[in-house]
């Protein structure tokens, strides 16, 4: 069973591309939503996050306080590294358990969607990588229209924590261009056909 990673900078459209693959019946592991789930429900990870980032990390009701966490870490590379060092190993183990179930079900290939595929080291668990590309100015405009709570400075801070587009493109096995210059669906269909063969 092929393990394919799908990545791209914030606002590149990787989630839309992943949803297109899912619509074709491809199992997709969404690293971001699984990380949020584990941060909310994994007792060991919760204890580590509380110890590292303080009691404000969770509300009085026990809900992850993402606003506090984002404000605390995204402007400090050392804190981002600390957060990632806690969360990424748990996501990696969760992914491996998920892969085993997909393999047992006889899937020809699976996708792992992750913004920080290289930064987290998760690419080592995969056979091929797809990078979804859009220029930085297009990505920033998309994020600002989608995430109304973010400022341009917030978006720049997030982008600065991610690997450069140049490096992602250089390391990719495949590139899907989501820069409004060509249709995305035919690119997805071509890759799906190749992976199934």
Find all residues with CB under 8 Å of 83, minimum gap 6, and list them: 49, 52, 53, 69, 73
**10-residue stretch averages of pLDDT, the chain, 197 residues long:** 94 94 98 94 95 93 89 83 92 95 97 90 94 91 85 82 88 94 95 95
- What pLDDT score was predicted for residue 74? 75
What the block records as the tokens of 77 is 């590379």
Structure confidence at residue 171 (pLDDT): 95
Answer whether 168's CB lies under 8 Å from 114's CB. Answer: no
Q: Which of 88, 154, 94 is nearest to 118 (CA)?
A: 88
- The Cα 185–Cα 40 span in angstroms is 34
Give the predicted TM-score (pTM) of the model: 0.86
- Closest-CA residue to 18 (of 182, 127, 178, 196): 178
* Alpha helices, H only, 105-135: none
The CATH class of 2-35+88-196 is: alpha beta
Q: How far apart are CA 112 and CA 109, in angstroms?
A: 10
């Amino acid at each position: 069973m092929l393990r394919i990673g799908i990545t791209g900078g914030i606002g590149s459209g990787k989630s839309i591309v992943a949803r297109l693959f899912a619509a074709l019946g491809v199992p997709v592991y969404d690293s971001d939503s699984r990380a949020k789930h584990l941060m909310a429900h994994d007792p060991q990870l919760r204890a580590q996050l509380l110890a590292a980032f303080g009691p404000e990390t969770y509300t009085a009701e026990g809900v992850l306080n993402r606003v506090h966490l984002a404000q605390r870490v995204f402007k400090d590379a050392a804190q981002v590294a600390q957060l990632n060092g806690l969360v990424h190993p748990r996501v990696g183990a969760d992914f491996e358990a998920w892969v085993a179930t997909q393999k047992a079900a006889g899937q020809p290939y699976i996708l792992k969607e992750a913004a920080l595929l290289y930064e987290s080291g998760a690419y080592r668990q995969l056979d091929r990588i797809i990078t979804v590309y859009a220029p930085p100015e297009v990505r920033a405009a998309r994020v600002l229209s989608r995430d109304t709570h973010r400022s341009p400075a917030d978006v720049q801070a997030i982008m600065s924590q991610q690997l450069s587009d140049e490096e992602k493109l250089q390391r990719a096995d495949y590139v899907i261009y989501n820069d409004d210059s060509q249709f995305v669906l035919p690119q997805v269909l071509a890759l799906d056909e190749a992976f199934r063969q």
